[in-house]
Amino acid sequence: MKKVCCYLITGICLIFLLAPFKLSAQTAKWDTISRAKYYTEKLSKFKSDPISEQDFVFLGNSITAGANWPTLLDLPVAKNRGISGDITFGVLDRLSEIIEANPRKIFILIGINDISKGIPDSLILRNYKRMISRIQKGSKSKIYFNTLLPVNYPGDKQRDRNEHITALNKEIRKLKSKRVTIIDLYPHFIDAENRLRGNLSSDGLHLNAIGYQEWANLLKAGNYLK
């Protein structure tokens, strides 16, 4: 009987000892370390086109990278700092170069790839706040934070993404402050079923020419480019 009790006690102790390792393995399901395929190459190209204090910087992932901002906005001082596939952690890694340049304005749209990687909303929001804090501490740049655009995917994938997008946009709107302007893109891009309007994209995620023109019109109408 004593041996049985001993075995039971030993087994229970092992369960408690191993529990943290099991929990850690279960929670660490997202990738925050790997960077987009052309991340390093893009950073090198950015160095050859430095930012000045008069520039308007557009910072984000492929949705930002896909626009020719100077032409689209008739704004020669617009600088594209979008990298396809980038996530909030990647933006934080390359934010110093932008902060040190002290541009006039910084427009940020980032987060959809984080959602796709399964990164928790709480971490994404934490990174948003870190971006804002670092920019405010290191520069005089005005910050324009965009709400996430909707997507248009089939079935459960659409529902899952939409839940995260809606939750994060709710929190993004709360980031408004004296130096942070929120540009609420989301309601201008949704259809009757809260999906990305079909005429604005060819794949349900990335914007086409009509989609970018919609974005440009919103920026001009909101007087964000003055």
* CA dist list (Å): 118 to 110, 124, 185: 14, 10, 23
What contacts 123, CB < 8 A, 6 or more positions away?
30, 32, 88, 114
**Chain-centre distance for alpha carbon 192:** 25
Distance CA 69, CA 44 (A): 20
- Where helices occur in the chain by DSSP H, the ranges are 2-27, 39-47, 62-65, 69-73, 88-93, 95-101, 112-116, 121-138, 155-173, 186-189, 209-221
Distance CA 128, CA 11 (A): 44
Distance CA 59, CA 201 (A): 20
CATH class of 35-221: alpha beta
Work out the pLDDT band at 214, boundaries 50, 70, 90. very high
Work out the pLDDT band at 157, boundaries 50, 70, 90. confident
Residue 86 has pLDDT above 80, yes or no: yes
Return the ∠ at Cα 62 (arms to 57 and 67), rounded to 5°. Answer: 55
Span of 10-14, 61-65, 90-94, 145-149 with lowest mean pLDDT: 10-14
The reported pTM is 0.87
Residue 22 has pLDDT above 70, yes or no: no
Give the chain's mean pLDDT. Answer: 89
Is 225 in contact with 73 (CB distance < 8 Å)? Answer: yes
> Position 224: which residue type?
Y
Q: What is the mean pLDDT of residues 45-69?
A: 97
Please give the pLDDT value at position 123: 98
What contacts 216, CB < 8 A, 6 or more positions away?
72, 73
Work out the pLDDT band at 47, boundaries 50, 70, 90. very high
Beginning with the edge strand found earlier in the chain, give each strand of the sheet holding 180-183 in spatial order: 78-82, 56-60, 105-109, 142-146, 180-183
Residue 16 has pLDDT above 70, yes or no: no
Tokens for 90, please give them: 């990647």
Residue 12 has pLDDT above 50, yes or no: no
